[in-house]
Structure 1
Amino acid sequence: MKKIEVLLSSYNGEAYIMEQLNSLISQTHEAWNIRLRDDGSSDRTLEVVEARQTEFSEHIVWEKGANIGVIPSFFELIRQADESADYFSFCDQDDVCLPRKMERAIQSLDTVDPGIPAMVFTSTQLADNDLNLLGLWPDKPLKSPSFYNALVQNIAVGATVTFNRAALQLIRRRMPHMSHVLMHDWWFYLCVSAFGEVLYDPEPSILYRQHGGNAVGGEVSKIAKLKKKWASFRKHRGTHKLVAQAREFHRLYAGELYDAEKLGQLEAFIEPRTTVMQRIRYLKHSKLYRQSKLENLLFRVLVLIGYI
C-alpha cells in the first residue's frame, strides 16, 4: 500500500488542531504518518498533540521549533521529509481533511510515472469557525494549470496539495532563499509545472476554516474575490515580488529548463521594463496568463504601469 507523509506546520493552534488530527485518523487510506513541526507556539498546541501521542503511536513525529514563520517552517518540513514515503501532503492545523483526501490524491498521482515530478490539488469546502459550510472555493480553473500561469498566479491551495517523491526531490535539491518565495504552495506549483505534471481534482478535499487568523483565506462572492486580488496587488506594489520569485526560480533551475519556450517566457518576464514601449512589446509576446479575463486585464494594466 502506498504511504503518505503528512507535513503539518502548527502555530498557536490549540483551538483547532484536535479536529485536524481526528480527521487524519478518519482517513479511508490507512498507510500514513504525520511529520509535525511546531513553529514556536506560546499556547497549548503541543500539549494537545502530546495527549494524542499514545493513540497515534508510530504515526506521528513532532518537534518544537523556533518561530521562523509559515513559509520557512514548511520548507523545514520539506527538508526533514522521509523519502521512503511514496507521497507527501501539506496540512494546516486549522482545517479538517475530508475522509477520502488521501485516497483520491493517490488515485490521481498513481496515473503519473513516479519518476516525473507531479502534484495534485483540489477545490475546498469553505466553512466558518464552527465548520458550518459556506460554499466551494476556488472555482474550477478556467484554463489548465501550467508554468505560464504559475509565474503570475497560484491556484493550488496548499492544504489540498499532495505530491510525489520526484517532486520532493526536485524542490530539495535546490532550496530557495525564503525571502523570494511568495508561499510554499506557490513555489511547488511553479517548479512542478516547469518540470512535471500538475493535476486538478474538482472534489473538495478539506473543510477550509475561515476564522480571521488564516495565513491565506478564501472568498465566496465575486466582489470579495476582486477586493482580495486588488489588495494582494497593492500589498506588493513596488516590490515586484512576482518577478523576484521568478528570478529565484531562474537562478536555481534555468540550467535544467530545456524547454526553450518556457525558458524564453521566463527570461522575458524577469527582464527589466523601464519604459512603456518595453512593457507594450513584452505584453505583445507574453504567454503568461491568469485564470479569468478580468484578472488578465488587471495583470496587463499592472505591467503597463510598472507594478509588475
Structure 2
Amino acid sequence: MKIGVIVAVYNGERFLLEQLESIANQSRKPDAIWIRDDGSTDQSKPLVQQFITDHSELCIHFIQGQNVGFKENFRLLLSEAYNKMDWIFLSDQDDRWDSDRILKMEKQIQKVDNMSAIASSFRFMNQKSEIYSIPLKQGWSNQNLIPRVISEFRLEPISVDELTFHNYFQGCAMAVHQSVAEEYLKINNPYLPHDWMLSLIAASKNELYFWNEPLFDYRIHADNTIGLPQSSRFEFFNRIKNMNTLYNRTIVIKQSKEVLETLEINYPELMTENRKQQLQFTKENLKLIEYKKIIPLIGQFSNPFYHQYKSKFGQIMDLIYCITH
C-alpha cells in the first residue's frame, strides 16, 4: 500500500515546522509528501525549503502557488497525489500527529475490504502546544462531533443519513482512498467544504469509517472559541445574545440543505422520499426564520426533522429571534 500525505500551507510559519516534523517522525513513513503553499506572505516558504533539506530521506514535492483559498488548495493537492498513491492523508499546517498515526490508520484500513475513507478522533491543543479538554456532551463521541456513543477503539461505519445533518470530521482527521479523491475532482460541488464532500462520497458507497482513538492534536487558536466552556454568568448571557442572530439561527440547517442539494445533483439515486422531505423541511424552515413567520414556525415544532436538527431550547431560540427581530 502506497501512502501519501498532502499539507495545505498558508502563512503558517508559527506552527508549521512542528507539524511537518511530526509527519517526518512517523514510525510508518509516508511514501510521498506534497506541500502546497497558497501564496504565503510570511516565512512559510523558507521553512518548508529547510525542512526538505533536513529530510532528504523523504520524497517531498513542494508546490509554490498563488492564493486560491483553502478549499481549492486541497483540491489542487489531491489532483497531484491521487493517481500516484493508494491512500492520501490530509494535513493542516498547525496540528501535531502522534508518531504512530499512519501505522495505526493503515492497520484499520487493512481490516475492511470496502473502506474508502477513514477518520480518527483527536485531542484539543492550544497555541502553546498544550493539550486541554472540553466538557463532553452525554451521548456524543469524537469531541462532541458525533451525536451518538461510539466505544473507544471501535471501528464504526458512518452513514449518508448522518452526514446530512452534520459534518463529523475535519479534513485533517481523514485519509481517503485514491478512488474517493478521483471522484472528488470530477464532482459538481458548489457548496460543501472538501472534508464534508470527501466524507459524503465515501458514505454514498457505504465505505466511510470512524476509528475512535485520538491520533493527533488539533490546534485551536486564541481567536477560535469553538468548544470553549462558558465560565461566568456574563459569558452565558453574551453567548445567548450571539446566538440570537440570523447566521447562528440558520447555519446548521443551511449547511444540511446544501448537503442534500449536493446529493440531489450528484447522487439522485440516493434521494429517497425521506431525504426529499428533509430537504423540503430545510427550505421551509430557512424561509420562516429569515422572514420571521412566527405562527408557521411554531407549527413546525412538531416536525420530527426539527427535533433532529435542534433541541427544544434551539427551537425556542429560533422563535425568540423571530420575535425580537
Q: TM-score range by the shorter chain?
A: 0.7 to 0.9
The alpha-carbon distance between structure 1 residues 251 and 76, as it changes in their structure 2 partners (threshold 3 A), is farther
Q: Please tell me whether the aligned partners of residues 247 and 270 of structure 1 are also in contact (alpha carbons under 8 angstroms).
A: no
User: Normalization by structure 1: what TM-score?
Assistant: 0.78
Whether 1:221 and 2:220 are equivalent positions in the alignment is no
Q: Which residue of 1 aligns with 2:305?
A: 286
Residue 252 of structure 1, aligned match among 265, 272, 284: 265
CA root-mean-square deviation: 3.6
TM-score by length of 2: 0.74
- The structure whose Rg is larger is 2
Which residue number corresponds to residue 125 of structure 1?
Answer: 123
146-155 or 232-241: bigger deviation: 232-241
Matches within 5 A, 1:1-308: 2-54=1-53, 55-56=55-56, 59-114=59-114, 118-135=116-133, 138-139=143-144, 141-143=146-148, 145-177=158-190, 180-181=191-192, 183-212=193-222, 218-219=226-227, 221=229, 227=239, 234-235=246-247, 241-243=254-256, 245-246=258-259, 248-257=261-270, 260=272, 263-264=275-276, 267-269=279-281, 271-272=283-284, 277=296, 280=299, 284=303, 286=305, 289=308, 295-297=310-312
* Aligned mates of 1:149, 1:185 — CA distance in 2: 15
Counterpart secondary structure, 1:123? strand
Identity %: 20
Q: Partners of 1:191 and 1:241 in 2: how far apart?
A: 20
Range that drifts further, 265-274 or 59-68: 265-274
Unaligned runs of 5+ in 2: 135-141, 151-157, 289-294
Query: Are the equivalent residues in 2 in contact too, given 1:268–1:282 (CA < 8 A)?
Result: no
CA 227–42 in structure 1, closer or farther in 2 if over 3 Å, else same: same
Unaligned 5+ runs, structure 1: none
Q: Is the 8 A contact 2:96 2:216 kept in 1?
A: yes
Distance 1:106 1:154 in 2: 23
CA contact (8 A) 1:174 1:252 kept: no
Q: Aligned pair count?
A: 293
Residues 148 and 287 (structure 1), Cα distance of their counterparts in 2 relative to 1, 3 Å cut: farther
Residue-by-residue CA offset, 1:228-256 (whole Å, 9 max, x unaligned): 9x759853556763155225413532334
